[in-house]
Structure 1
Amino acid sequence: MLWGLSKLIDGEKPRMEVVGTARSCEEALAKVDQLIPDVILLDLDLDGKNALDILPALVLNQKSRVLILTAERKQATLDMAVLRGARGVLRKDVAAEQVLKAIEKTHRGELWLDRETLGRVFGELMSPVAAPKPSPETEKYAALTAKEQKIIQSIVEGSGASNKALAQRLFISEHTLCNHLTSIYHKLDVSNRLELYVYAIKHQLGNPQS
């Protein structure tokens, strides 16, 4: 296959010519750095390894354009090749003139993709990335008021301090502190100050950076 492709392309001189060939991923990476070819005709199976893994590195020089030539039929794999930087996909059973035409168009900066593939890839690129869902504990803490969060921080810092001492430190009455604690217990699903302290330490709620 490699020999046949080389003969086919070199037969088009001076319009195009083969500047190098590679039989493994390692060799391909070395040759690209050395030769910086205009177009890379890439088989996804190089010496038993998946060339998808090296595809992004092959186009880092901003000049080389990758055209996939493969027998792979899994559409998800081919779509991934495009998402990783390939400009087009060719089946190994295409006619010789199609190979030459695809190389020429790829060199000109055009895409060699069927409409369905193009639609799927653009759809993937345009799909909004789902934000990571906050943990239940993060949601619980977010439900606390700024004052309640300050109280938790004081409890962590003061550990065994009495309610009276905590209230004085926070410049509130002991009765107001108890009301805040009742609200905190309810929101965090704990029963008393000891449970609140353990909960806060476990989830790092009393740290200034939390």
Structure 2
Amino acid sequence: MTIRVVIADDQELVRVGFGMILGAQPDMEVVAEVDDGAAAIEAVRALEPDVVLLDIQMPGVDGIEAARSICAGSTAKVIMLTTFARDEYLYASLRAGASGFLLKDVRGEDLVHAVRVARSGEALLAPAVTRRLIDDVARQTVRPRLDDSVLDRLTERERQTLLLLGRAMSNAEIAREMVVSDHTVKTHVSNVLTKLGLRDRAQAVISAYETGLIVPGGEPPGAGGGPLRT
């Protein structure tokens, strides 16, 4: 199945370069290259892509506002593009619904991999990198925004799963920590996303912070205490 991609960046070299790399893949089609957020929103409405690459900072409608609109009105997966690993707007972008981020100097093979992974709905990029980046930004900007009573929607095992997702663990790592099968982890992850109304794992990380389940800069409850057992 062909992955349809929209690229939005006000730097022409980025748009063209990314477009050439992705367009050369047999399973990808770049359906639009635009230079601002408003054009990206219109392209998504008209073309229904699978994945959208959005520059965080663009003139007019920026990437955060565009991500919020695109994620609310479509099933497209959004990947934010940033120049710096500690972009102050990254957390807001993920909270808006983006599935992850890429640095603009990303290697071609990693760009292709990220688009495929985002389309599949799995965790985008190296979990440890994502956790360090979110934690660094969240340390300065995040206070609990969600009533922790939302966690009452989850079973104990699902709550443990959310905590481990917040620690940016992969399914295999969660399975080892909880001493369960990969299939069971996938079920728990799916239940967490459904019950909390989340789009993907990136938003699960955000929810772990916003409910206070994980404290920015601190060791989350349950960390380092050995496997979580039934």
TM-score by length of 2: 0.50
Structure 2 CA distance, aligned partners of 1:12 and 1:99? 11
Q: How far 1:111 sits from its partner (Å)?
A: 2.4
Write the distance in 2 (CA, Å) between the matches of 1:61 and 1:16.
22
CA contact (8 A) 1:32 1:58 kept: yes
Secondary structure (helix, strand or coil) at the match of 1:54 reads: helix
Displacement of 1:8: 0.5
Q: 2:54 aligns with which of 27, 31, 42?
A: 42
Q: 1:71 to 1:48 in 2, by over 3 A?
A: farther
Q: Figure out how many residues of one structure are paired with residues of the other and give that number.
A: 127
Distance 1:75 1:85, change over 3 A: same
Corresponding residue number in structure 2 for 1:88: 100
What code does the residue aligned with 2:66 have? I
Q: Secondary structure at the match of 1:18?
A: strand
2:76 is equivalent to residue 60 of structure 1: no
Match of 2:15 in 1: 2
Q: Give the 4+ runs in structure 1 shifted more than 3 A.
A: 72-76
The one-letter amino acid paired with 1:6 is: G
Structure 2, unmatched stretches of 5+, are: 1-13, 135-165, 168-204, 214-230
| Contact 2:79 2:99 survives alignment (8 Å) | yes
2:178 alignment counterpart? none
Secondary structure at 1:110's aligned position in 2? coil
The residue number in structure 2 matching 1:115 is 131
The separation in 2 between residues aligned to 1:73 and 1:101, in whole angstroms, is 19
Residue identity in the other structure for 1:10: G
Instruction: Say which SS state the counterpart of residue 94 (structure 1) adopts.
Output: coil
**CA gap 1:62/1:27 in 2 versus in 1, 3 angstroms:** closer
> Could you tell me which residue of structure 1 aligns to residue 110 of structure 2?
98
User: What CA deviation, in whole Å up to 9, does each residue of 1:126-175 have, x standing for no partner?
Assistant: 238xxxxxxxxxxxxxxxxxxxxxxxxxxxxxxxxxxxxxxxxxxxxxxx
Give TM-score scaled by structure 1 length. Answer: 0.55
Structure scoring higher RCO (CA < 8 A, sep ≥ 6) equals: 2
> What CA distance in whole angstroms lies between the structure 1 residues aligned with 2:42 and 2:33?
11
Q: 1:123 is matched by which residue type in structure 2? A: A
2:211 corresponding residue in structure 1: 126
SS in 1 for 2:78: strand
CA contact (8 A) 2:56 2:63 kept: yes
CA gap of 1:33–1:40, structure 2 versus 1, over 3 A, is same
The one-character-per-residue Cα deviations of 1:64-92 (angstroms, maximum 9, x if unpaired) are 01011211444542121111100011111
Following the alignment from structure 2 to structure 1, what is the Cα–Cα distance between the partners of residues 87 and 18?
Answer: 24
Structure 1 residues 31-54: Cα deviation after superposition (integer angstroms, max 9, x where no partner): 111011100011112236522122
Aligned residues: percent identity?
25
Match of 1:33? 45
**2:96 corresponds to 1:11:** no
Whether contact under 8 Å (2:36, 2:62) holds in the other structure is no
16-25 or 113-122, larger mean C-alpha shift: 113-122
